[in-house]
Structure 1
């Protein structure tokens, strides 16, 4: 280890999901529903978060005094606001080095086991995922136009570079995989 503290080693006890919720709550009080929507919009393509995780983390953070619950509003939704203890925990989390990324790309698992998978199915899966990445790249490039928030723009730039790299990888796959020729 390089001697730097990572978020995993930090004394605050926050996991990345809880930290992301506190980050969103810096803007304004939000309901669990609002937090799920913000997470899907701002991080959905690179950080997964489920509705159940959001509500579980909010409950845990409320018990720990990191957020406070507001009065129930429309449709029985309860807003949460970050407390000073929550701001301190977020500051501690953000002072640590982020952990390493973990690539979980189900298509790579399928390719690893490709010799045991019918070639036409494998080819169809590759073509399907290539189309998804091409669509995502086009979406990201459209979002980038006129973006003024430098932090969101940096994240989006990563997405654009990532999708371009993945598409280049697809283009370099051997014809055996992309054209359905079975090698026995």
Structure 2
């Protein structure tokens, strides 16, 4: 989710101050994505530059309220109608970390997997406690919380899969790079 679209969504019904937007954004996401107020105002400045919001009024103390424009509504509607693709999500740092651990000699990949599994299990337990304690919570927070639970469960399943692959390949000798003496190049085969 982009901050841009989050702010547009919060402005859909009525004009708001930057601090209101920050508070409502954090409330809607259960503070799982805390926003710095500077991020809010920087994003509002860009949205205003792009014609998606405009300053609705300015108070005597210098605070401005912002409102969504028609172009902003069109952008927001398009965002809601467009599925999120796997390619548009941030890089998976854990997958990259494991791939590099395999590529770097001397790294105990199994230990990396075990530490990650322990941390993810601890996180999953905390999320589950939060879910049990949230009997009458906001539906938006519940959806965010359940998404985090499902992501943690999927990560644990994936780590189990990684570990089984490592166990199957542990006994196999690593393929050594083949050196071509004629041109002094090295070819790595895997």
- TM-score w.r.t. the length of structure 2 is 0.60
Q: Could you tell me which residue of structure 2 aligns to residue 10 of structure 1?
A: none
Query: Residues 16-165 of structure 1: matches in 2 within 5 Å?
Result: 16-26=2-12, 29-36=15-22, 38-39=24-25, 42=29, 53-63=39-49, 64=51, 66-68=53-55, 70-71=57-58, 78-83=64-69, 86-94=72-80, 96-101=81-86, 102=89, 104-113=91-100, 114-120=102-108, 122-144=109-131, 145-165=134-154
Over 3 Å counting, the alpha-carbon distance change for 1:71 and 1:142 in structure 2 is farther
For structure 2, list consecutive stretches of 5 or more residues without a partner in the other structure: 175-190
Which one has more relative contact order, counting CA pairs under 8 Å at least 6 apart?
A: 1
Structure having the higher strand fraction is: 2
Q: CA deviation at 1:20?
A: 1.3
Q: CA deviation at 1:61?
A: 1.9
Q: How many residues align?
A: 164
Structure with larger Rg: 2
Aligned partner of residue 58 in structure 2, secondary structure:
coil
For structure 1, list consecutive stretches of 5 or more residues without a partner in the other structure: 1-14
Contact 2:30 2:141 in 1 (8 A): no
**Residues 85-121 of structure 1, C-alpha deviation per residue, up to 9 Å, x if partnerless?**
5444423432x3223033522121121131314324x
Over 3 Å counting, the alpha-carbon distance change for 1:147 and 1:103 in structure 2 is farther
